[in-house]
Amino acid sequence: MIYNEVETAPRSELRELQDERLQETVETAYEEVPFYRELLEERGITPDEFRGVEDITDLPFTTKEDFRDTYPDGMFAVDHDEVRRIHASSGTTGKPKIVAYTDDDLDVWKEVVARCLAAGGVEPGDTVQNAYGYGLFTGGQGLHQGIEELGATVIPIGGGQTQRQIELLQDLESDVIACTPSYALYLDETAEEMGIDLEELPLSTVMFGAEPCTDPMREAIEERLGVNGIDIYGLSEIIGPGVSNECHEVQDGLHIFEDHFYPEVVDPSTGEPLPEGEEGELVLTTLSKDALPVLRYRTGDLTTLNYEECDCGRTMVRMDNVTGRADDLLIVRGANVYPSEIEDVVLEFEGVEPQYRIDLYQEDNLDRIEITVELAEGFTGDADALHDEILERLKNVLVFTPDELDLVEYGSIERTEVGKVKRVYDHR
């Protein structure tokens, strides 16, 4: 189901809307946010001369450090009495990024999340269990309002309480669960311990997001839970969940709701725009945010844009699913590797679980990388042979040999029940 006709608008119409909204956004940023006025003035940009999308690369970038430097509200474009809601994204270090919404912003937010759900095949009348955390994190509230907006039933259980989640999935016959990909796998493990087979339940869709999910990880979710996995993407600085979503009809990339968020892909090291189809860092500009307009935000997320028409009828550009961030890049003895490359290799093997961790150490000024992977439940094969096979494959794919590969017993890697999974531990 297509939730809003604009999703199928001819691209020329969309472009007119983007031009108009981008001009307004630049004007608001200039007039209302001293932080932006200074940056725009430095570049000689005035709102009356700014023409729209064709001039977008003249605009300055915004970075996560800018949020930190202007903490808590230095980027707000409205007075406090117009702010109806605050959320925050928990940084692992330093202050969180505070984000704000006016009434109109909340309306846009719930509408784009409703579009995501509809794109994912969720229908009015469906029951959706929302297992994203409520609170300052945008996942819980963001999904919640979108589910209601669509006309579906929301079960606002939030993160954790895994046994309860499973009982509710059973008793309320939920059609959909919204949660992180790692939590979807954890649900399945817990259900198994409870003697429940999730495949037997009416559950048909997992709306997974907030974390990277490689193809083998998605396959594991789909197979084990007997569901269709749909990828939902977003970030607090831009709005929260609802920036883009996969369509269930085609499932080849996530449609970005370009009437509200303008995407670019740039070279992560130089910031130079990249041609269509090349992988780089996603940069997003808000086109309709009132409380917190954001110009050219460096998301850190690596993706590719695809403007080809999609068979689902949506004309909005698709981004590849995000399996890594520019700042995830691990530099090990001078060689570059993304954790997702390691995940891709390891999960090719039948005898292991989609549970792993990567530890980096420094010894005598040399980097050491250790990879720990769980053996599949009830593994009875030859673990030594499997170890050698995985190591050989890692050697072939990576540009260096991991110092250690440990295959550990099923269940020995800690699971994440609430929040985002952590797989890389850099002790250097």
Which spans of this chain sit near ligand DLL (rule: CB under 6 A)?
A: 89, 132, 138-139, 209-212, 231-236, 240-241, 299, 301, 322, 325
For helices 11-32 and 34-42, give the axis angle rounded to 10 degrees: 110
Q: Which is nearer to ligand DLL, 9 or 75 (CB)?
A: 75
In whole angstroms, how close is the CB of 246 to ligand DLL at the nearest point? 9
Which residue's beta carbon is nearest to the bound ligand DLL? Answer: 209
CB atoms within 10 A of CB 212: 25
Q: Which is nearer to ligand DLL, 63 or 170 (CB)?
A: 63
Cα separation, 203 vs 166, in Å, equals: 11
- Residues 6 or more apart from 335 whose CB is under 8 A from it? 398, 399, 400
Q: Which is nearer to ligand DLL, 240 or 351 (CB)?
A: 240
Q: Which is nearer to ligand DLL, 23 or 299 (CB)?
A: 299
What are the backbone dihedrals phi and psi of residue 60, each rounded to the nearest 5 degrees, phi first? -75, 160
Question: Tokens 């985002």 belong to which residue?
Answer: 420
Ranges assigned E (strand) in 66-133: 85-89, 97-101, 127-130
In whole angstroms, how close is the CB of 210 to ligand DLL at the nearest point? 4
Cα separation, 11 vs 18, in Å, equals: 10
In whole angstroms, how close is the CB of 170 to ligand DLL at the nearest point? 24
Cα separation, 22 vs 16, in Å, equals: 10
Could you give the dihedral angle defined by the CA atoms of residues 151, 152, 156 and 159, in that order, rounded to the nearest 10 degrees?
-120
In whole angstroms, how close is the CB of 423 to ligand DLL at the nearest point? 13
In whole angstroms, how close is the CB of 414 to ligand DLL at the nearest point? 20
Structure tokens at 119: 């794109």
In whole angstroms, how close is the CB of 290 to ligand DLL at the nearest point? 19
Q: Which is nearer to ligand DLL, 23 or 251 (CB)?
A: 251
In whole angstroms, how close is the CB of 208 to ligand DLL at the nearest point? 7
Structure tokens at 246: 């996969």
Look at residue 116 and give its three-state secondary structure: helix
| Prior bond of 72 cis (ω within 30°) | yes
Q: Which is nearer to ligand DLL, 149 or 211 (CB)?
A: 211
Q: In what order do the strands lie in the sheet with 424-426?
A: 404-408, 366-375, 352-363, 424-426
Q: Which is nearer to ligand DLL, 110 or 325 (CB)?
A: 325
